[in-house]
Amino acid sequence: MANVTIQISKNGPLLIKDEVKVVDMATGNEVKIEKFPIALCRCGQSATKPFCDGAHSRCGFDGSLG
C-alpha cells in the first residue's frame, strides 16, 4: 500500500492530497471521490460530511491538539 499523508489544518479540515479509498462504515459502500485533494470535516458541522464545506469557520471550531 502506498504511503498517504494526512495534513491537520489549524482549526480546519484534514487535508488528503494522495488518492485514497473512503468507505462508509455504516453501509460498507465506497464513497465516490471525483478528484483529489480532499478535505475531511473535523468540526462535525459540515452539510457535506464526511467532506468539509467550510462550516468550521462559521461555528468557531477549535482544533487544538492536546
Euclidean distance between CA atoms 7 and 63, whole angstroms = 13
- CATH number for the domain spanning 9: value is 3.40.5.90
54 is a domain residue:
yes
- Per-residue pLDDT at 66: 61
Indicate the pTM of the whole model.
Answer: 0.85
**Mean pLDDT of the 51-63 span:** 95
- Per-residue pLDDT at 62: 95
Q: Considering its fold, how many domains does the chain have in total?
A: 1
28 is a domain residue:
no
pLDDT, tens only, 32-43: 999 999 999 999
Percent of the chain with pLDDT over 70: 97
- Domain with 60, as residue range(s), is 1-20+35-66
49 is a domain residue:
yes
The average confidence (pLDDT) of the chain is: 93
26 is a domain residue:
no
Tell whether the model's pLDDT for residue 1 goes beyond 60.
no
27 is a domain residue:
no
